[in-house]
Amino acid sequence: MQGLHAVIFRISKVMDVIGGVVLTLMMLITVTDVILRFVGKPITGTYELVFLGGAVVIACAIPQTSWEGGHVNVDFVLGYLPGIVSKIITVVTRLMGMAFFVLLGWNLIALGTNLYSKEEVSLTLHVPIYPVAYVLGICAFVECLVLLSDLIKKVCEVKHE
């Protein structure tokens, strides 16, 4: 099991690094655009690049944030429930999350395929949009792996009690 958890951690870490690189590029483009606007030479398509990059940054950050437990968690009710009931609810929510992200990933990959077949591009720079949909779909599947890893940890905790 440790090998599986390590692989999932590495994948989510790589996605996080990709998101960080894209965020850095977005900041550089934005700062450069603002500076060049003073000279009267703004960068064409900055809005599009930042818009597409923002989607990639958010999607790439989700798996690692989930791995670290950084998402908002409303668990004040679970504190009043017996341990086994709390863990059952946690397992059910992980299964529901996995189902959601499988459906999301599947539909994003289908959207990417549709965008590819229709040759959809951005308005100003004519950048193909389908790679962004594919990246978002892959990130959704990686989030499924993170939730699966967490589910395995929760089930193993229940067996040891």
| DSSP code for 127 | -
What are the φ/ψ torsions at residue 128 (nearest 5 degrees)? -60, 140
> For residue 87, what are the CA distances in angstroms to 48, 74, 96, 131, 142?
44, 14, 14, 38, 23
- The tens digit of pLDDT for each residue in 77-117 reads 777 778 788 788 888 989 999 999 999 999 999 999 999 99
| DSSP code for 80 | G
DSSP one-letter string for 90-148: HHHHHHHHHHHHHHHHHHHHHHHHHHHHTT-B-TTT--BSHHHHHHHHHHHHHHHHHHH
> Averaging pLDDT over each range in 77-81, 135-139, 157-161, which range is the top one?
135-139
Q: pLDDT above 90 covers what percent of the chain?
A: 73
Cα Rg, the chain, nearest whole Å: 20
**Res. 57: pLDDT tops 70:** yes
Identify which of 73, 106, 113 has the alpha carbon closest to the alpha carbon of residue 90: 73
pTM of structure: 0.87
What are the φ/ψ torsions at residue 146 (nearest 5 degrees)? -65, -45
Q: Give the burial class of 131: count Cβ atoms within 10 A of its Cβ; 0-12 exposed, 13-18 middle, 19 or more buried.
A: middle
